[in-house]
Amino acid sequence: MCLCSYRKTLKKAHKEEIEKYDVVLCTCSTALKPEILAVMDFHQIIIDECAMATEPEAFIPLVSYNPKQ
């Protein structure tokens, strides 16, 4: 198995796993990963410990997903 095939298989597995859940917990910067962006349509985003994040970090999930709340 070549490295490209491995990465493609791993990306597909991540996508399938994320699709199973209604709630996803991740850091603000991890929310920008293509595996999450391609799969999820969030209605709400809650940023825990928002005071610890920089303002640009806190905007990543808000701008990337355009939540309803």
Higher-pLDDT residue of 52 and 35 is: 52
For the segment 21-43, the average pLDDT, to the nearest whole number, is 83
* Domain boundaries defined on the chain: 3-65
CA-based max dimension of the chain: 45
Stronger pLDDT, 46 or 41, i.e. the higher one: 46
Q: What is the pLDDT of residue 2?
A: 85
User: pTM for this structure?
Assistant: 0.64
DSSP secondary structure of the chain: --HHHHHHHHHHHHHHHHHT-S-----TTGGG-HHHHTT---S----TTGGGS-HHHHHHHHHHH----
User: How much is the average pLDDT of 21-47?
Assistant: 83
